[in-house]
Structures are given as structure tokens and as C-alpha cells.
Amino acid sequence: MTSSIQGVLPVLHTPLCDDESIDVDILQQEIDWIYAVGADGVCSAMVSEVLRLSPTERCELAEMMVSMTAGRGTVIASVGAETTRQAIQYGEHAKRCGCSAIMAIPPISVALPEAAMWDYFSQLARRVDLPLIVQDASSYVGRAISTSFFARLVAEFGAAKILFKPEASPIGPNLSDLRDQTGGKAQIFDGSGGILLIDCYRRGIQGTMPGVDLLDGIVALWRALQQGDDALAYRIYFPICAIVALQLQAGLDGFLAIEKYILQKRGVFPSVRRRTPYAWELDRETAQEIDRLLVHLEDALKGQPALKL
């Protein structure tokens, strides 16, 4: 098994109709925009509101990601669940509908001992014939997973089978520790909206999994890093970093509220509707700061390939 999973792989946001059902037409529009700005694929994960979707909706979302991508890139489905059985069922469905890989967080309703967590991830790896991206989303949901646990997975299953999206603090040092413990074999993806993307890139990541809201900026930043253009990379990075810092202060709901606000402002989404209930609303002063930062991002992207709806 060889992995071609790399580059910019955004986590889509789930557009919702007035009745909170998935807006299929806007989802197609979002996925088209993802590929138009140069992304290498699409994922579902925490900011897709998968924890607030029904099992049927999660499977339908995976199916639509594959059909709407139509061969343009990698498709990664979120399969993390509260039981091993359910995670495997999501994973087997992802395989059947044509996904390229699966991604899973551990259960979040219980603090699992390491032996139980090992059983969860190892069964998922053995039962589902797709690469498995192990996500530590503990900066906003769940508990941190140790670097030694990650390294043990690589030793058991191989670096092509098990990949990683580590988001536990301190992200950069943990990433380097995982790289070093696996002799550089671990394939690692940056997350947390890209707030530490430059630092993580220099530590040897395989790709990045941001949200969709700032995707044209992330794609341009990734390309600048690949080309060694530090001046351009930092110019693009600073407003992105500042926006994500605002998102982080309210956890998962902060990401959801602000990212959907930006998607609406940029014409990708018609509304900021989220699944209820949620714990945080975007206030006027935060929105005004985001607006100012978006102007800085647009200025930084002048002269870069861009496409807006």
C-alpha cells in the first residue's frame, strides 16, 4: 500500500437548509470552489459538524463528497464514533462508496485507557482496507493521544496505512517528536485551521487540513512554502493566523461560527446556519475584526491565482 495523500486537503463545512437538512446544491458549489482554488482533495471532520449529523447523514455526506469530487482529488471521510462497531461500519461504508481514506478521532464520551484506545484504532485499521488518519482533536474536543501511541501504530501497521493529524498542544514539538520517534516515516498533516502551518511545514508535514473559509489563502501559502518564498509565505500567513486565533478562543463552535460567517461573506454559502444547539454566537465586534483581517488577506493575495464565486 502506497500513499498519495498529500497537499492541501480542506475539511468541508456542511451547508444547511432552513430545516437543518444538508443543502445539496450549496455543498456541490462548495466542493467545486475547493477544487477551483487548487486544493488536492476534500475531507469531512469536526468542522463538518459530523458530531451533529445522524448516522444516515454521515454516510450520505461521504457519498456526496465522492460523487461531487468526480475524480478531481482525494476524498477522506470522518469515521470516528463512540463505539468501535460504529466506527468500523462508517469505515466500511467509506470504502464501498469510493473514499480514498478514512479519518478517526477516538471516542469522546469516555476517557479511554491506552489498551482500549489501541483496540479501537487497531480494529479499525484491520477491518477497513483504506489508509487511516488518526486525528487528535484534543485542542477542542476529546483528550490528547501520546506520541508514543502514534509511533506504536506506525510500527504495527506501517506508515502507508496509518497517518496522523495531531492537534494536541504543543503541536510543533509533538510533531517533531513523532517524526523523530518513527525515523521520519510518519506521514503527518497540519490542522487547527493552519494557525501553525509554517512552523509545521518546516518540521516535515505531508500536507495540511484547514477549513474551507480561507482556502485560497492556504493554497497560496502552501505553494509559497514549496517554492521557498518566505516573504510571500509570511505575508499571507499573518492574517490567516490572526483569524484562526479568533476561532480558537471559542473551541469547536468558534471555528464553526466564524468559518461559516466567512463563507457567507465570500459568497460560497448563503447562510451561517449551524446545527442546534451550540454554545457560542459570533458577536459584532469579533465580526468587525474578521472583516478587517480579510482585507489584509486579500491584499496579501493580490497577484496570486485566485477564483471567487
Average pLDDT over residues 160-164: 96
**Three cell numbers, residue 9:** 486537503
Residue pLDDT, tens place only, 238-254: 999 999 999 999 989 99
Residue 305 has a pLDDT of 64
User: What burial class does residue 190 get, using C-beta atoms within 10 Å of its C-beta: 0-12 exposed, 13-18 middle, 19+ buried?
Assistant: buried
Q: Return d(Cα 170, Cα 172) in angstroms, integer.
A: 6
Report residue 223's pLDDT band, with 50, 70 and 90 as the boundaries: very high
> For a pLDDT cut of 90, what percent of the chain falls above it?
88
Q: For residue 270, is pLDDT > 90?
A: yes
Residue pLDDT, tens place only, 94-135: 999 999 999 999 998 888 899 999 999 999 999 999 999 999
Q: For residue 309, is pLDDT > 70?
A: no
Give yes or no for a contact between 241 and 195, defined as CB atoms under 8 angstroms apart.
yes
- Known binding residue 1? Answer is no
Report residue 3's pLDDT band, with 50, 70 and 90 as the boundaries: low
Residue pLDDT, tens place only, 27-39: 999 999 999 999 9
Residue 308 has a pLDDT of 43
Residue 145 has a pLDDT of 87
Domains of the chain in start order, with CATH, are 7-227 (3.20.20.70)
The mean of the pLDDT values for the chain is 94
Q: For residue 180, is pLDDT > 90?
A: yes
Average pLDDT over residues 176-199: 95
Q: Is there a cis peptide before residue 277, judged by omega within 30 degrees of 0?
A: yes
pTM of the model: 0.94
Q: For residue 2, is pLDDT > 50?
A: no
SS3 238: helix
In the 8-state DSSP scheme, what is residue 289? H
